């Protein structure tokens, strides 16, 4: 694998992680808007983040 392909792979993986973190924050925010306590909202946000990460 060339260094150019390795850098591209790292860039794609990093963007995927950032996108899943953003989706997790959105899931947390929606849970808080619906009136969930903080610990449940963190659970919902992490479930969304891990679900998006597995895509």
Q: List, for residues 7-53, the tens digit of each pLDDT value.
A: 999 999 999 999 999 999 999 999 999 999 999 999 999 999 999 99
**Cα 53 from chain centroid (whole Å):** 6
pLDDT at 22: 96
Instruction: Give the percent of the chain with pLDDT over 90.
Output: 93
CA distance 34 to 43: 14
Does the structure show a pLDDT above 90 at 55?
no
pTM of this structure: 0.83
């Amino acid at each position: 694998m060339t260094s150019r392909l390795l850098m591209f792979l790292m860039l794609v993986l990093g963007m995927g992680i950032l996108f899943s973190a953003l989706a997790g924050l959105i899931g947390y925010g929606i849970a808080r808007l619906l009136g969930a306590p903080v610990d449940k909202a963190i659970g919902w946000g992490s479930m969304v983040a891990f679900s998006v990460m597995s895509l």
